[in-house]
């Protein structure tokens, strides 16, 4: 028996008729979780994609707890503040001199991240892969030669260890 395909263009057409632009019809094909939020203009709502990272996806699917999610996001924030991720958008201010060295704050934060990952031991690999590189825990497990299902279980243990470290 052939399954009928849903008309994915329907929500986009309805939004265009109502004067809202919420993206193309192809956007509704993806499995991202979208939350509808009101705006400051009466009768107008916007859609917000709630699954920007792997941690967002895991918590939306209830595969990790909110406590584990908070620990992972805190590690990512610490790593980003330490200069672990390059800026995508350049500064438009006048550049006085080139900065090739990291600031004292970045050096201190990088030391804290390194020390934290060292304290996590063997679990640090999955934390780096999922929280910092935004890859799936399954991919990390397969790359190590483990069963694909083991990746998420090991990630949960690692995030619990982080949450315990920060007393979340």
Question: Phi and psi of 47, rounded to 5°?
Answer: -110, 140
pLDDT(7) > 60: no
How much of the chain exceeds pLDDT 90, in percent?
A: 22
pLDDT, the chain, mean: 77
Taking residues 26-38, report their average pLDDT. Answer: 63
Instruction: State in Å, rounded, how far the first CA of the chain is from the last one.
Output: 51
pLDDT(68) > 90: yes
Using only C-alpha atoms, what is the Rg of the chain? Answer: 21
């Amino acid at each position: 028996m052939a399954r009928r395909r849903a008309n994915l263009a329907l929500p986009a057409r309805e939004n265009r008729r109502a004067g809202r632009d919420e993206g193309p019809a192809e956007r509704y094909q993806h499995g991202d979780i979208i939350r509808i939020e009101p705006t400051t203009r009466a009768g107008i709502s916007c859609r917000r994609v709630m699954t920007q990272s792997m941690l967002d996806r895991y918590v939306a699917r209830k595969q990790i707890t909110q406590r584990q999610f908070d620990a992972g996001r805190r590690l990512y924030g610490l790593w980003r503040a330490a200069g672990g991720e390059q800026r995508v958008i350049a500064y438009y201010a006048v550049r006085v001199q080139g900065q090739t060295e990291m600031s004292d704050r970045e050096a201190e934060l990088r030391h804290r991240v390194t020390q934290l990952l060292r304290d996590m031991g063997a679990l640090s690999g999955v934390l780096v892969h999922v929280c910092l590189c935004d890859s799936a825990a399954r991919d990390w497990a397969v790359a190590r030669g483990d069963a694909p299902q083991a990746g998420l279980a090991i990630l949960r243990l690692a995030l619990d260890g982080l949450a315990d470290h920060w007393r979340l």
